[in-house]
Amino acid sequence: MGAIGAGLAVLGAGLGIGMIGKGATESIARQPEAAGKVQTAMIIAAALIEGVALFAAVIGFMSVNAGN
């Protein structure tokens, strides 16, 4: 079950970062002058999602190993 949880965490993070990239691309296309601010916010949000996904994956893999 821990491996499934880790996989779901990584899948969710991938979808979330994809949605952030899509939104940022659309925002920059509509207002090119705001590209710097949009890019900064996008990178910060993506880093936070990656951090949460990493913790979830580690906890999932630790629970797999704890069962042995």
Q: Spell out the domain ranges in the chain.
A: 2-66
* Contact call for residues 52 and 10 (beta carbons, < 8 A): no
In the chain, alpha helices (H)? 2-30, 35-66
Banded pLDDT at 67 (limits 50, 70, 90)? low
Which residues are within 8 A (CB) of 28 and not within 5 positions of it... i.e. 6 or more apart? 34, 35, 38, 39
Q: Which fold has domain 2-66?
A: F1FO ATP Synthase (1.20.20)
Between 57 and 68, residue with greater pLDDT: 57
Banded pLDDT at 68 (limits 50, 70, 90)? low
* pLDDT in the model for residue 57: 87
Banded pLDDT at 37 (limits 50, 70, 90)? very high
Question: Alpha-carbon distance 35 to 43, whole Å?
Answer: 12
Mean pLDDT of 15-41: 95
